Structure 1
Amino acid sequence: MKRTKTSQSGCPKATKIAKNEEPEKKVKEKQVDDVRIAFSDEIKKYKKLKLENGRKYDVKKVLGEGVFGIVFEVLDEKKQKLAAKMMKKTDEPPEIWKIELHILEKIATCPHENILKLISVEKVIDPPPFCTENVLFTNCLGPSLLDVITKAETLQGPDAHGCTFPVPQIRDIGRQMVAAFAHLDNLGIYHLDLKPENVYFVENGDFEIRNLRNKHLAIEMKDTKIQIGDFGCSKFHKEFESDVKPTVVQTQNYRAPEVFIGLPYSTKSDVWSFGALMCEMYTGMLLFYGTEDENSESTQFEMMQRVVGQYVNRAMFRKALLNGSDRVRKNNGILQRNTKKFDPTVPLHMNLKKFDFEAIPLFEMLKYVLILDPEYRPSFADVAKHKFFAQN
């Protein structure tokens, strides 16, 4: 299935799942961060970024917008291109945005070639409307994976069957993602929002579209170098994993099963998102999706189990209940009333194109990664050793 509105949303506000506990972030109605401001007249008229230290930047365009921030492309006085992320005004306590800052500072002390690096944090004299005075400067990267896919689908026209990537480029991009996330694990950081919007090509994102068998067109990038960005939903590891509270994290299409039922997230939650994204690059379609109604989450939760051919075990349900979760699904994790909400489910291996022998190791890797129980799901260090990534 192609993208739905659920796949376009940013990471959800981090609210506790367990009963009788206060949420980490108080969710109030009609907050500024619930509204998209990038295309407002006030933002369009904002052309100059003036800092307290006297520096000035020309604002060229909006690069993107998330739940808590908006990113501008700016030019400094030497005409060097940078990305400036402004924090939105919200009712959240100020330490919330500082979590992202501290995570970026941690990464800057031990940088990685596949992770976006913080240049500086500054204060703006006259910030854009709806924004605070806090701004984070990073290098300005090329388009995101989603930008490239969207552009290719536009070029392909309304009869598109889904834009895919050649297996060698999927391997190359995937290998870089695994390296980046293994590094984040070593730094003690959960990303918690891996999706096409947050994977950026370092260069300008030039590509060609060429024909593949079975009426599929392949996006062939001229340069596959990528970096992982957007740490607005990220968190530091706790000293003890038992200290992690059950919280709704990750964009729904890429959300791990344990999060759906009310178990704490872990490093393995990012691994699940990685698997869903890798399959999407091959098929050109979302691997998991919900519906456009109030049953969206339960529909996707059921679908995920059917796609991977596994069902959430009793041990996971027991742990969720002990955590006080009110999100536990009954009937062995399946809500039968939702089975007609989505298209007939295609098992994971059925997404392999006919006679595409080159992709067999890819699907062996996906089967290895997409394990419902995080206890048995591999880490990124394990995934890096899979034979799919050992090939040139």
Structure 2
Amino acid sequence: MLVPGADINSRVLVRIGDFSCSCVLNSDEIGCPGAYFQTRPYRAPEVILELPYDETVDMWSYGILLAELFLQQMPIFGENQTDQLAAIMEVFGFLPAKMVVRSRKVDVYRSALRYVTKSGFQRRPYRKPLSVILRSAPALLVDLIRKCLQLDPANRITSKDALRHPFFIQSQRSSQFRRPRYIKSNYWF
């Protein structure tokens, strides 16, 4: 992924790898944990609702990470589990009914619909659309992030399709694409 560099005319290549919560679905040796395996800001709605999940939760996290890299701040952040779901709905609206009715955490969903933050701010579904949050982002990046952040996991882009997304194809063909300078960092997510 190319992100803005030190000055307005430069770009740097960023490669991301995160194996801190690695697991293999349906494996006895490296099985996936329960509901709290994703760090809250990167947590997919189905994980918050304690629904069955698969590899699509990684695409949700990746979409959040792409937006975070562009914005240099978290695009969606909640102070707790309920607020995180409320913050997600502020951007994307109501969760699909089929997800809510299958969840054991309907109470979390109901509380998220009328959540008030510690500072007294009332969250509302659809208050802050993704297009507003990413208003200065390139259109292809917004499209990729939107495809990663589909509320219904069945509608999320797959990792294979994400790699074929025009955002990456265009970045690789760009005359600004160059080999990266590696910078040692002590910043850990």
> TM-score over 0.5 for the alignment?
yes
Q: Which residue in 1 is equivalent to 2:2?
A: 169
Match of 1:287 among 72, 75, 79: 75
Matched, 1:260 2:38: no
Q: TM-score, normalised by structure 2?
A: 0.72
Matching of residues 327-346 of structure 1 within 5 Å:
328-331=107-110, 334-338=112-116, 340-341=120-121, 346=128
Q: Which residue in 2 is equivalent to 1:306?
A: 90
How many equivalent pairs are there?
A: 164
Matched, 1:209 2:16: no
**Contact map agreement 1:352 1:360 (CA 8 A) in 2:** no
Q: Tell me, what secondary structure is at the counterpart of 2:53?
A: coil
What residue ranges of structure 2 are gaps of 5+ in the alignment?
Answer: 174-189
What CA distance in whole angstroms lies between the structure 2 residues aligned with 1:385 and 1:251?
27
Change (3 A) 1:378 1:226: closer
Q: TM-score, normalised by structure 1?
A: 0.37
Bigger proportion of residues as strand: 1
Matching of residues 55-94 of structure 1 within 5 Å:
none
- What whole-Å deviation, never above 9, does each CA across 1:78-114 have from its counterpart, x for those lacking one? xxxxxxxxxxxxxxxxxxxxxxxxxxxxxxxxxxxxx
- What whole-Å deviation, never above 9, does each CA across 1:14-50 have from its counterpart, x for those lacking one? xxxxxxxxxxxxxxxxxxxxxxxxxxxxxxxxxxxxx
Radius of gyration: which is bigger?
Answer: 1
CA drift of 1:306 comes to: 1.7
- What whole-Å deviation, never above 9, does each CA across 1:200-240 have from its counterpart, x for those lacking one? xxxxxxxx62248xxxxx8x54xx363514x342211216x
**Contact map agreement 1:275 1:369 (CA 8 A) in 2:** yes
What CA distance in whole angstroms lies between the structure 1 residues aligned with 2:123 and 2:89?
15
Q: Which residue in 2 is equivalent to 1:228?
A: 17
Q: Which residue in 1 is equivalent to 2:144?
A: 365
CA drift of 1:298 comes to: 0.8
**Contact map agreement 1:252 1:297 (CA 8 A) in 2:** yes
**Contact map agreement 2:67 2:75 (CA 8 A) in 1:** yes
Matched, 1:385 2:158: no
What residue ranges of structure 1 are gaps of 5+ in the alignment?
Answer: 1-167, 172-207, 213-217
What CA distance in whole angstroms lies between the structure 1 residues aligned with 2:143 and 2:14?
24
CA drift of 1:261 comes to: 0.8
Relative contact order (C-alpha < 8 Å, sep 6+): which is higher? 2
Amino acid at match of 1:226: R
Question: How many percent identity over aligned positions?
Answer: 24
Q: Which residue in 1 is equivalent to 2:177?
A: none
Q: Which residue in 2 is equivalent to 1:270?
A: 58
Bigger proportion of residues as helix: 2
Change (3 A) 1:384 1:312: same
What CA distance in whole angstroms lies between the structure 1 residues aligned with 2:7 and 2:123?
29
Q: Tell me, what secondary structure is at the counterpart of 1:209?
A: coil
CA drift of 1:297 comes to: 1.5
Q: Which residue in 2 is equivalent to 1:251?
A: 39
CA drift of 1:270 comes to: 0.5
Q: Tell me, what secondary structure is at the counterpart of 2:153?
A: coil
What CA distance in whole angstroms lies between the structure 1 residues aligned with 2:43 and 2:16?
21
Q: Tell me, what secondary structure is at the counterpart of 1:365?
A: helix
Q: Which residue in 2 is equivalent to 1:348?
A: 130
- What whole-Å deviation, never above 9, does each CA across 1:33-84 have from its counterpart, x for those lacking one? xxxxxxxxxxxxxxxxxxxxxxxxxxxxxxxxxxxxxxxxxxxxxxxxxxxx
CA drift of 1:349 comes to: 0.4
- What whole-Å deviation, never above 9, does each CA across 1:261-299 have from its counterpart, x for those lacking one? 1112310000000000101111111011112xxxx2111
Q: Which residue in 2 is equivalent to 1:317?
A: 100
**Contact map agreement 2:42 2:65 (CA 8 A) in 1:** yes
Amino acid at match of 1:329: V
What CA distance in whole angstroms lies between the structure 2 residues aligned with 1:337 and 1:351?
20
**Contact map agreement 2:24 2:32 (CA 8 A) in 1:** no
CA drift of 1:313 comes to: 1.7
Change (3 A) 1:386 1:245: same
Amino acid at match of 1:307: V
What CA distance in whole angstroms lies between the structure 1 residues aligned with 2:87 and 2:77?
8
CA drift of 1:246 comes to: 4.6
Q: Which residue in 2 is equivalent to 1:31?
A: none
Q: Tell me, what secondary structure is at the counterpart of 1:210?
A: coil
RMSD, aligned CA: 3.1
Q: Tell me, what secondary structure is at the counterpart of 2:7?
A: strand
**Contact map agreement 1:306 1:347 (CA 8 A) in 2:** yes
